[in-house]
A and B are shown apart, each in its own frame.
Chain A
């Protein structure tokens, strides 16, 4: 969700006589001699060519009849807080990106609305009702696409990009829309004949790696619509996770489950070492075609016990859109989020027991090495059994 011309719209809302007029919020123009820049401007002002970050003196030359107002940051923050808390009614997973933009993970909040579109319309309508302000919403399978979508039909926009339409949506867009492509990189890419995002996507991954290194690979992934960064709220920036890429893409369910177990154990060890417990277990799968999905479950009691992490992770494995049998898996990961402070619980006796056992295992392994004590199900690959 991205508010339209936020500062200027708040001013126009607070002072109705400014509606329909070019409003420019920023430094004092001092009849064209002012220093400083435009912080924001209304859509009416944009028609004169005024843009945010433009020197205020230049803005004044373009639009001398504009209404120039000082930045009332406290007021905008206050309105922003109200909007963010309204967004919080749709999902717990709200990640404010700036004062007037936020990512929402609505995966678990769709049911009352039925469709993404209905939910998106509800957000726009409630922001309008509550604040008399317009918001643009972009909905997509990941943050990168959603951000572009929110920007595309401003003001008062609503763009929904379903998973199957991601590439068709992305590829015709100019290369400059790609995150991480600034003016310099844009010029460089254009020299190579890459004008559109689709042009970049047609290059081979190795080619991008060779030319631009790690950043090139990242751009290549974005150009293929791959962006698996989760929506993180301020309170759960931290999560503990482990992932592994298979040497060969696999469709072997038993191998996936086993890998989940060892990943869960690594996560559990790290959680306990830091005295943390988490309330959300998530599993990530990247398929052979690089499409990536995550599935998450929230627990009633926070945990640091590998046994519990693993049992939830195993259940999550069944909730992915494609069975590994039909689409092989390249990478699998487990992470535990919604980490709790080191507060102990009053009713955690049962939980304590599992953690105590695993704590004892940790200590044995610290003393005698990582392979010294292990689950029977792991014995399959062990040298003892091979003998």
Chain B
């Protein structure tokens, strides 16, 4: 195998595959990329057995072939070379890969491609959705996915697709993000629901990053398939039961606030400075015309912020994790948000006040203070 590629062209693809490469290093070959040169293309593949990706870039192929090499080292080498340089790869003895460009020479230890897992293929029916829709939906829900690996079925998002649109739901058991986009999904009959791993969502958002890209996707029993602009990603679906999220979206929260997104976020950020560092707990005190945000830690001090609001209901107090509120306000993408509350035990409902493109809701459980 011998081929030459342009730095900028291969670097872009290496950037996409890097996120998929297994970080934990339990099976050595999973830290490698599979490079395949044939025709006028270099194909780059990576997998962690749950998520696999295949990208390609133009290459001048002198002789075709394949080898796996350390993803990290190839990425670091390519990144370090001058822009616009041409980089040559050549299979040397004993499965070494010689990499050279101008005066720079590297030899990277490789492993035979036969041990590299086979990436599942799909060639059936696909549906098409603008990439921007996926990216938007992912960025506004991914933060609410649980970080605890033991809560397996919460370790991803619920994706519901039907002829009327897409819905993505995430939760960590304390808060829940729900976003829906109405659009025609051509050729889809009925509805399907799948659990998508967090990593898949994060990588999908990257692939769908450029404007005007379209995402083609499909599913079978165990896998999800995504084609974006010549790149191909396969993901295992998560098994398990997603909790009954509809049940926890509050319907009769009678205390409704309209808040300036940035002003509210600023007040929380400042109040949170004195909050307990573990719980991030802040107190919201609601009274006529005013919302007061306070926090205190017995051995450090306290903070108080007030926000003018139009409110004439009953006074009430409720505690929240400041970070949970800020997570939402950071991606509300609206000048104003509505915040619906009931009492200090019932989940609050946050929504952008005027946005029409998406139905976006965020449910957050209070905290006992």
Contact = CB atoms under 8 A, between A and B. Distances in A.
A and B from one complex: yes
B150 A346 contact: no
A21 B281 CA distance: 52
Nearest to B369: A342
Interface string A249-273: 0000000000000000000000000
Given A346-B347, A347-B243, A341 B278 contact: yes
A346 B175 contact: yes
A344 B176 contact: no
Given A89-B24, A300-B150, A346-B173, A341 B243 contact: no
B171 A346 contact: yes
A342 B151 CA distance: 19
Which secondary structure dominates where chain A touches chain B?
A: loop
A321 interface: no
Interface string A286-313: 0000000000001011000000000000
B62 interface: no
A126 B28 CA distance: 13
B363 A346 contact: yes
Interface string B44-68: 0000000000000000000000000
B365 interface: yes
Interface string A174-207: 0000000000000000000000000000000000
Interface residues of A, number: 15
B321 A346 contact: no
Contact of B321 (A235, A341, A345): A341
Contact of A343 (B26, B171, B321): B321
Contacts of B321: 341, 343
A342 B176 contact: no
A370 interface: no
Given A126-B25, A275-B368, A342-B369, A347 B173 contact: yes
Contacts of B175: 346
Interface residues of B, number: 28
B348 to A, nearest CB: 11
Nearest to A90: B24
Of B25, B173, B366, B369, chain A has the most CB atoms within 10 Å of the CB of B173
Interface in B163-220: 171, 173-176
A341 B365 contact: no
Interface in A75-133: 89, 112, 126
Contact of A344 (B150, B171, B345): B345
A89 B281 CA distance: 28
Contact of B367 (A89, A301, A341, A346): A341
Given A300-B151, A347-B173, A347-B248, A342 B368 contact: yes
B367 A344 contact: yes
Contacts of B363: 346
A23 B173 CA distance: 52
A342 B281 contact: yes
Interface string A340-373: 0111111100000000000000000000000000
B365 A345 contact: yes
B297 interface: no
Interface of A: 89, 112, 126, 235, 275, 298, 300-301, 341-347
15 contacts: A126-B25, A341-B276, A341-B321, A342-B279, A343-B367, A344-B365, A344-B367, A345-B173, A346-B174, A346-B176, A346-B243, A346-B347, A346-B363, A347-B243, A347-B248
Given A342-B369, A346-B173, A346-B175, 19 more contacts: A235-B278, A341-B280, A341-B281, A341-B367, A342-B281, A342-B319, A343-B174, A343-B321, A343-B367, A344-B345, A344-B365, A344-B367, A344-B368, A345-B174, A346-B347, A346-B365, A347-B173, A347-B244, A347-B248
Interface of B: 24-26, 150-151, 171, 173-176, 243-244, 248, 276, 278-281, 319, 321, 345, 347, 363, 365-369
Q: Which 3 residue pairs across A and B have the least CB separation, nearest first?
A: A341-B279, A342-B368, A344-B365
